[in-house]
Structure 1
Amino acid sequence: MNARDKAVLELDRRAYLAGAVLEGIAATEPSDEELRGVYERAFGGETAPKTEFNAAHILVKTEDEAKAIEAELAGGADFGTLAAEKSTDTASGPNKGDLGWFQPEQMVAPFAEAVKGMKAGEVSKPVETQFGWHVIKLNESRQVAAPNFDEVKDQLAVQVRRDRVEAAIQTRVDASKIEKTPI
């Protein structure tokens, strides 16, 4: 057996041992108390429904471009067609500006405030954010409540296990002396 073979076997041994340790950490069932803590952090214990919005937008660089789009829309142009043609947002532009469902806190403040003040089917005046100028169309809104604890208990358990593994790895990294050799 040459030096390369020995090094590969040693790496395999270490990987196996590390995997076994992490499996042991992940295998411990989370307590109900841990799960409820994660649930509270994720959903804040809120039982009141939150409003979600489904909107589309056209993002451009200047206010003049946004005003020109606003005028085209007022003249009967199709929002989706204009979004596909003119939006600089490479993610939503090709999808007719569709942003899908979101809660206001997921968006930058000026955008969120504009959407909160709109009615379904309405198109906004140009809105400036750090990304540029938006013309927004609110498709619809809905009220959603936090999921019941029992509905998400299994997903929370997966999250607890993942967090434990990440914490264990970080503890080991923090306690290790890592030397990097120049290539």
Structure 2
Amino acid sequence: MLSFSRVSVALVVALAVSAPVFAQDDLSRDTVLARVNGTEITLGHLLTARDALPDQFRAMPADALFTPLMEQLIEQTAIMQEAEGTLSAREQIALENEQRAFIANAALTRAAEAALTEENVTEAYTAFVTEFDGREPTPEFNASHIIVETEEQALELKAMLDDGADFAELAREHSVDGAAEGGGSLGWFGLGAMIPEFEEAVQALEVGDYMGPLETRFGWHLVLLNDTRMSSAPPLEEVREALEQNIQREAAQAELNRATEAATIERAYEDLDTSILTRSDLLDD
């Protein structure tokens, strides 16, 4: 079945004229903007259609988007009225599935959004910290490196460090990886986060010391250990997004479980041959 885009670029360009002027204070979602054979198209319909557009269209100025979007709603209403009652069995069933999915998704979204309160986030973070603190503390390292292509280059840079050159400046000037811009800083990392050769190097260093050249599959490294610490729970803002996603996911699942458990369900498919799933020809008229 063909699928027509909500708003085409050509339509926007062709109909990009100034939007009509309304008394803004008198408007509501029920304000009628057009009628097609008596069927009303309201401001609510227009706003919902706009919210469903892809990002590149939602970013367009309102005066360029208003008329094309209204004309699309008018055209859709006209063709819908003519086509009403003519859907094939396949199309009618697809419509029922889409309606089912839309309503279910709306209900789950409401449940998820309602659960996203600061109180719930704080409670989730407290539980997270309690669980984190109950684990065995592990060492974490803050290190920097300079990586070059040859051992000769690494030895030259090592000599410069021995003569008092600044590690970060040398990294910015000579290192060939993405950390160079930040003076070679790799930030904090725990055991298992780095390749074995690098991990062994930082564990052997004292804070403030450097070593190298160290060869790995990425090249030749000079490694500086900036600091060490034992693992601790990250601050709330570092894990807020993950906690919020988990809260919403659990709330949606709880709502799904509640509705399913409250429903009277009769399953009549247990003995059905699963190969029936390939019989899409049954949808044909």
- State the partner residue of 1:158: 244
1:65 matched to 2:153? The reply is yes
Per-residue CA distance 1:55-83 (angstroms, 9 max, x = gap): 11111122222122112111221111100
The structural deviation recorded for 1:124 is: 1.1
Q: Is the 8 A contact 1:56 1:139 kept in 2?
A: yes
- State the partner residue of 2:194: 107
**Runs of 5+ unmatched residues, structure 1:** 30-34, 168-176, 178-183
SS at 2:210 equivalent: coil
Higher relative contact order (CA 8 A, sep 6+): 1
TM-score (norm 1): 0.62
**Runs of 5+ unmatched residues, structure 2:** 1-73, 81-94, 116-123, 254-277, 279-285
- State the partner residue of 1:79: 167
Q: Is the 8 A contact 1:58 1:135 kept in 2?
A: yes
Structural RMSD (CA): 4.3
The structural deviation recorded for 1:121 is: 0.8
TM-score (norm 2): 0.43
Question: Residues 157 and 87 of structure 1: is their aligned pair in 2 closer, same or farther, counting only changes over 3 Å?
Answer: closer
Q: Is the 8 A contact 2:112 2:249 kept in 1?
A: no
User: Structure 1 runs of 4+ off > 3 angstroms?
Assistant: 3-7, 13-19, 24-29, 42-45, 152-157, 161-165
Paired residue type of 2:231: V
The structural deviation recorded for 1:125 is: 1.5
- State the partner residue of 1:140: 227
Question: Residues 155 and 71 of structure 1: is their aligned pair in 2 closer, same or farther, counting only changes over 3 Å?
Answer: same
- State the partner residue of 2:177: 89
C-alpha distance in structure 1 between counterparts of 2:245 and 2:200, whole Å: 32
